[in-house]
Amino acid sequence: MANDPTTTATLTQALKTYYDRKLLELAEPVMVADKLADHSRDIPQKEGKIVNFTRYVPLDKVTAVTAENANSNYVELKAFEFEKTVAKYANAIRLTEEIQLFSYCEPLDNAVQLLGVNMGESINYQYRKAMALGFYPMRVDNLGTYAKTGIVEATPTVTTVKASELDESSNDFWNDGVIIFTSGRNAGYAGLVTDFDHGTDTITFAPALEDACAVNDTFRIVVSTGLAASNVVTCSAVERAVSILENNKAPRYDGLYYAGIIAPFVKYDFMQDSAWVNAQHYASPEAIKNGEIGEWNGVRWYKDTEGWRETITAANATSGTQGFGFYSATGTINHTPIFGKHAYAGTRISGVKDKLIIKIPGPQDTSNFINAWSMVSWRAYFVAVVLNGLFGVNIVSGASTVA
């Protein structure tokens, strides 16, 4: 470039555009989940930062004949309301005058590169956490000890349910697992289990429901306890996840396919499966650019270098330290989400784009009166929210250590 943007008092519009594009180009490869999220639910400006969502309650099947010359029965339209708050995420790098004067490389260019990747990873993290806590949990080994279906019994509240099927012999057995309701007005809601009382078979979860479940509503509860590195994702596990989505009537993208996001070591195990090896795959420059690695069993797969990993849930753990929703870079539990359209959303403020901000000292800058530094930052207003947990399956597995 003709001028060094780190030592000039202002940036030209051309340079601003160049760096904006560079930030987004570097963020895009790790913002896999953002590409597939619903983006039609942004909040209008000047109308607060809370967004309300409505999840409609499915209607019961009609089994009775409607007589001739008679109207059908009718029911009230019922819905489950919930809300999320858009939050601000940001990070910055300070470039000292000495770095700008003495560095052999281009410091502003390098700062934008680092921030672009950082923004992509940070936004992707929020999506992956929402999926880990909000999608239907499926252990790859399907071990019944740690994954059960229950029926809600008497006196449910907005934060508790009781079920006699949970016949474990100790308190806290289900702590830090996920509970998802599969029928009733709360179908599609998932929450983190914060306590289990063996004496009363009571599960406590968060966040709270808007309205308590009804007696005889059903749910699924899962912890990651007992999963080993050898419990890897296979084609059979993917087939099971797809059948769950189909059973839950999850809509497909373009009416044709589900989407899956897969991390490197999980992908390695999955691609060793003979069913994958023997299948026909597509590969085109366009697909590679978009991060797709292939299609199998009606699932289009997208690679994600920033997958969600957790520490295995210890039996009878104290809540809040491990398991679902507690990311660990060295964790051995991997999450592989497969989902349909409208499973989750990425909500922003309408017209307010994720932004790169470059602040270079100007003549009236009294806070930096000897021009000791410049600042480069990114900022995004955003919230990741699961719209219907039954439209996504979160495969919980181990993975081989390839390194």
Evaluate whether residue 29 is within a structural domain. Answer: yes
Q: Which residue has the higher pLDDT, 343 or 370?
A: 343
Number of domains in the chain: 2
Same domain, 113 and 45: yes
Of 177, 181, 210, 174, nearest in space to 80 by CA: 210
Which of these ranges, 184-188, 312-316, 386-390, has the smallest mean pLDDT? 312-316
Q: Over pLDDT 70: what percentage of the chain?
A: 77
What Cα–Cα distance (Å) separates residue 212 from each residue in 80, 153, 158, 331, 371? 11, 12, 4, 34, 59
User: SS3 for 77?
Assistant: coil
pLDDT at 179 (0 to 100) = 97
Evaluate if residue 185 carries a pLDDT over 60. yes
pLDDT at 54 (0 to 100) = 63
Residue after which a domain boundary falls, among 206, 222, 238: 222
Taking only the tens place, the pLDDT of each residue in 62-103 is 767 777 777 777 665 555 556 677 888 899 888 876 556 655
- Per-residue tokens: 161: 């349910």
pLDDT at 6 (0 to 100) = 37
Evaluate whether residue 319 is within a structural domain. Answer: no
pLDDT at 57 (0 to 100) = 58
Taking only the tens place, the pLDDT of each residue in 145-163 is 999 999 999 999 999 999 9
pLDDT at 100 (0 to 100) = 62
Q: How far apart are CA 390 and CA 379, in angstroms?
A: 32
Same domain, 98 and 175: no
Same domain, 113 and 41: yes
Evaluate whether residue 400 is within a structural domain. Answer: no
Evaluate if residue 9 carries a pLDDT over 50. no
pLDDT at 79 (0 to 100) = 53
Evaluate whether residue 202 is within a structural domain. Answer: yes
Q: How far apart are CA 304 and CA 280, in angstroms?
A: 22
Taking only the tens place, the pLDDT of each residue in 47-66 is 666 666 666 656 667 767 77
Same domain, 37 and 120: yes
CA angle 379, 385, 391 (to 5 degrees): 140
pLDDT at 8 (0 to 100) = 35
Mean pLDDT of 385-399: 94
Evaluate if residue 4 carries a pLDDT over 60. no
Provide the CATH number for the domain around residue 20.
3.30.2400
Pairing of strands 308-310, 299-303: unpaired
Which of these ranges, 184-198, 229-243, 286-300, has the smallest mean pLDDT? 286-300
pLDDT at 327 (0 to 100) = 92
Same domain, 200 and 148: yes
Q: Which residue has the higher pLDDT, 236 or 43?
A: 236
Q: Which domain holds residue 206?
A: 144-222
Evaluate whether residue 121 is within a structural domain. Answer: yes
**pLDDT band at 116, cuts 50/70/90?**
confident
Taking only the tens place, the pLDDT of each residue in 217-260 is 999 999 999 999 899 999 999 999 999 999 999 999 999 999 99
Mean pLDDT of 130-143: 95
Same domain, 123 and 201: no
| Mean pLDDT value across the chain | 81
Residue after which a domain boundary falls, among 222, 254, 272: 222
Evaluate if residue 396 carries a pLDDT over 90. yes
pLDDT at 251 (0 to 100) = 92
Same domain, 46 and 150: no
Provide the CATH number for the domain around residue 184.
2.40.10
Q: How far apart are CA 55 and CA 76, in angstroms?
A: 15
Evaluate if residue 402 carries a pLDDT over 50. yes
Same domain, 126 and 149: no
Residue after which a domain boundary falls, among 174, 194, 222: 222
Q: Looking at 97-217, which runs of residues are DSSP E strands?
A: 136-139, 147-151, 160-162, 178-181, 190-197, 202-206
Same domain, 17 and 87: yes
**pLDDT band at 319, cuts 50/70/90?**
low
Is the separation of the CB atoms in 179 and 221 below 8 Å?
yes
pLDDT at 247 (0 to 100) = 95
Same domain, 169 and 121: no
Same domain, 162 and 187: yes
**pLDDT band at 395, cuts 50/70/90?**
very high
Same domain, 210 and 105: no
pLDDT at 64 (0 to 100) = 76
What Cα–Cα distance (Å) separates residue 222 from each residue in 138, 194, 249, 328, 347? 7, 13, 21, 19, 28
Evaluate whether residue 110 is within a structural domain. Answer: yes
Evaluate whether residue 300 is within a structural domain. Answer: no
Evaluate whether residue 380 is within a structural domain. Answer: yes
